[in-house]
Amino acid sequence: MSTKFIYPQFLYLLTISLLFSVSACVQRDHVTVLKLAHGLDRSHSVHKGMVFMADRVWEKSDGHMRLDVYPSAQLGSERENVEMLQIGSLAITKVSAAIMEGFAPSYRIFGLPYIFKSTEHNHRVLDSDIGREILMDGEQFWLRGLTFYDAGSRSFYTKDRPIEHPDDLRGLKIRVMQSPSAVNMIRAFGGSPTPISWGELYTALQGGVVDGAENNPPSFYLSHHYEVCRFYSINEHSTIPDVLLISTKIWNQLSEQEQQWLQEAADESAVYQRKLWAESEKHSLEQVKAAGVTVTYPDKQPFIDLVQPLYETYKQDERIYNLVQRIQALEQE
């Protein structure tokens, strides 16, 4: 079986190993301790969901299992955290589903624009056998999915003009994630996709390296990108969840009871996080409007029409296109 691996930055990982001599999963006085690291700040709904999960693990295990949560990239960037999961030096992390395209083919489905018709449709899919199947698709690369966290829908924000129609994207450099699906989508709309890391985006916007970006309302607000981009055009072109991953190496070290505690707590945290996410979306839009950002709601149909050829390309992969059909079927249930 072929394997895929992001080769670790050895010096970085060696430093981490020396600084954190406690392994990703340890038995200490009959307490199993797992390290969870991610790049979000403490105010983010996903971080709060993880803290809720940690509390539930502690309660379910009656103190025999503990999650230590390290937010704000304390143990490294998103990429570095994934590398650490693969070698088993970190237990759990969070990534965007778009990042997982490079590991497991089924994650490509989330990059297909307008595949979900509503928030309810999206949640129905994530909670179904389809969602569980996708979560398991990264296991052969040592990345087992525990649950999905809501990350809303992504829309365009720009510096100089609103995006009322795809034609408004022509000539604009738009930041995208390191995702082939995102690159193809921006090209279909007529823009120029420019992959830039999240941590470098504020400076890139300020310096004119890119003319805009695309993301959900809380990310737009919490990143302070609204200080540079004064137009937010809510066309909701894609709905890409966050994924909570555990190192398969660590998962296999846990007892069946510990696995059950962890999985149940993760599932419960996803329900809790969705409520927080809905509140944070509303709050974020209110705040950016109060800061003087022009928020518009363009007609989605011209955007939908331009990405139809992307659906045709998915037909070339029987398994992926089968997922498309199954997801579309769930819209009516």
Residue 308: per-residue pLDDT? 93
pTM: 0.86
pLDDT tens digits in sequence order for the chain, 333 residues long: 444 444 344 444 444 443 443 467 666 568 999 999 998 889 899 999 999 999 999 999 999 999 999 999 899 988 899 999 999 999 999 999 988 988 898 999 999 999 999 999 999 999 999 999 999 999 999 999 999 999 999 999 999 999 999 999 999 999 998 888 899 999 999 999 999 988 899 999 999 999 999 999 999 999 999 999 999 999 999 999 999 999 999 999 999 999 999 999 999 999 999 999 999 999 999 999 999 999 999 999 999 999 999 998 888 899 999 999 999 999 876
d(CA 148, CA 261): 17
What's the CA gap between 319 and 256, in Å, rounded? 31
Burial 232-256 (b: 16+ CB within 10 A, else e): bbbbbbbbbbbbbbbbbbbbebbee
Task: Check residue 275 and give its pLDDT.
Answer: 97
Distance from C-alpha of 253 to C-alpha of 240, rounded to nearest angstrom: 30
Predicted local confidence at residue 23, as pLDDT: 61
Rounded CA separation 258/267 (Å): 14
**Every domain of the chain and the residues it spans:** 154-239+283-328
- Which pLDDT belongs to residue 144? 98
CATH number of this structure's domain 154-239+283-328, picked from the four choices 3.40.950.10, 3.50.50.60, 3.40.190.170, 3.10.310.30: 3.40.190.170
